[in-house]
Structure 1
């Protein structure tokens, strides 16, 4: 009898978790949109010439990478969108659907043309 009761409780708990709303599908969709925006930015950019340091096989510094990224048009919006996606994932993990949806809306706005 106790075993049946514990199985019933487990079944009820798992069913209630399945009914909880999740932002995961929307997060995945917005992630694909951000990825597409990154691809579009990369395709539209002619790219930079290699610096003298790069030709001498020196590794790029964080400052030189940041400077190159700033020259990429639209990159700031992508960075904002990626930050908002991170917030959406945290909110989704915490079960906060409203915060997740707000973060996703901000991510979409950040990559809007």
Structure 2
């Protein structure tokens, strides 16, 4: 994954990221321009970001909530906030590493 663009208004741009996958630009470039809904947690370094829902023809939600956070703040995560989420840890080099809930629970 690589950073596609930054979003934000009165916030630091580094707090918000829209991601894309360089190997599949067609799918992820569409995701990158969708409206994003976000809630700030703690000091603003931890972001609960939900891409606009994708629905299939049976009205099932295809997109899942995604949690973005700075890796040094991993110990501040509320365990209840990560249920059912995919987790993205942002490194200082601005690369994104995807880990799942089980790996995050082990880290905590």
TM over 0.5: no
> TM-score, normalised to structure 1's length?
0.22
Say which structure is richer in strand: 2
- The higher relative CO (CA closer than 8 Å, separation ≥ 6) is in 1
> TM-score w.r.t. structure 2 length?
0.22
